[in-house]
Amino acid sequence: MSYHEFLKSKNWIDKDLDSRYINVNHPYAIVLSEDEGRITFRGYIGVDNGQNGEEIFSFTTLQDLQVWFENNIGE
């Protein structure tokens, strides 16, 4: 499973196709690059989709992301 598949399975969307995933029910944005990612608080919820948010967690493996989800979102 890839980062993208995992996030889609949890109902997180990348509506702008820029590897920045959001879920309107959570105040986070998940930003992916080729080999890592970061989770930020969305700076202006609904406006910038996390582009200017404060980083709260970085990850380099899918397992790290899954653990963060379980601990912080409960999924």
* 22-64 per-position pLDDT tens digit: 998 988 889 998 778 998 887 555 555 555 667 789 999 999 9
Handedness of CA 34, 39, 51, 7 (dihedral sign): positive
Phi (first) and psi of residue 44, to 5 degrees: -130, 95
Per-domain residue ranges of the chain: 3-72
**pTM of the predicted model over 0.85:** no
* 53-69 per-position pLDDT tens digit: 677 899 999 999 999 99
